[in-house]
A = this chain, B = another copy of it.
Amino acid sequence: MERVNIKQLAAMLNLSIATVSKALRDSYDISKATKEKVIELAARLNYEPNPHASSLRRNKSKTIAVIVPEIANNYFALAINGIESVAEENSFHVLIYLTHEDFEKEKMFARHLLSGRVDGVLVSISGATTDYAHLRALEQKDIPVVYFDRVSEAEDAKRITTDDFESSRLATSHLITKGCTRIAHLAISQHTSIGKKRKGGYLQALADHNIPVDDSLIIYCGNYDEKNAASIADLLLYKKCDGIFAAVEKYAITTYEQCSALNISIPQQVKVIAFSNLQTASLLNPPLTTITQPAFDIGREAASILFNTLNKKIPPGDPENIILKSLLIERDSTSGEW
């Protein structure tokens, strides 16, 4: 079936292309009668304006890109959910790009987006990202970039995060309060903002309680589950840790799996707390104490900032530094003295 365009509508109505175009966009200088006729016919023929033509002409795409490390991850899935909800309210389209923690892919995506395919970009950077030139290049071409969760270090960037340092300090303190003295930290890439902040909060809590730092208790986990599992098993078997603070959910899951495999009981032998948006945290054996981030709201907030920038309510150069609070939800994995 041939696609119907504005020219055909015009011909069928004995009107000019311009009139039809304006009628469809509800322009003020078209008579009510004409508008109705045009809209009626357009609806009847299932006319949908060609977005490529419109984007080309207006130099606007009504599309945003979301660049994230992964999607099969409760946190990012929820954040994307939030982003989508705002995009839909604004009749925008959402393109998804997954870096799988690969810096080259992230650069490639960013580079492509210089083309003008999208009006703005939301990004949570990969664990391998070491500089932000590829993202700054977008801003230089007037494509606003808003960072969420794993953000740029640049002072003038727009970023939405949670109180990672404070939450991590709290999480670690929580373990200390529960009687842990040898607390391990399963850290995420120290290239990322959250990696540094979460480790920072951990170190702060140790310092606050005069507990010396033992570097062998800080495990830099990566992207490979088997490798992480081996490191964690080593930690559990030989490092005599009695508490574990995992910077991200997947490391906690691996910890649970290893504890189960090695017959180490949580919380009796080791207590576990983790950043996590796991829906089933309370149903685990034992229920997992979590620091739960408002992932959906972070997505919504990041998208709102982006749209406010696109609508010129916020100047592109204005820094934003919105920090939402995470929630420490205490469950049995850190329950005290047995």
Contacts and interface: CB of A to CB of B under 8 A. Distances in A.
A283 B48 CA distance: 49
Contacts of A112: 48
A61 B72 contact: no
Interface residues of A, number: 54
B96 A1 contact: no
Contacts of A80: 71, 96
A94 B93 contact: no
A51 B117 contact: yes
Contact of A116 (B1, B51, B98, B282): B51
A83 to B, nearest CB: 9
B55 A84 contact: no
Contacts of A48: 111-112, 114-116
Chain A at the B interface: SS class: mixed
Interface in A33-68: 46, 48-53, 55-56, 61, 63
B77 A81 contact: no
A116 B283 contact: no
How many copies the complex holds: the figure is 2
Nearest to A279: B253
Nearest to A63: B95
B283 A141 contact: no
A265 to B, nearest CB: 13
A96 B141 CA distance: 25
Contacts of A115: 48-51
Interface string A257-288: 10010000000000000000011101111110
Given A280-B280, A285-B285, A95 B98 contact: no
Contact of A77 (B50, B61, B73, B279): B73
Nearest to A285: B285
A320 interface: no
A74 interface: yes
A77 B48 CA distance: 30
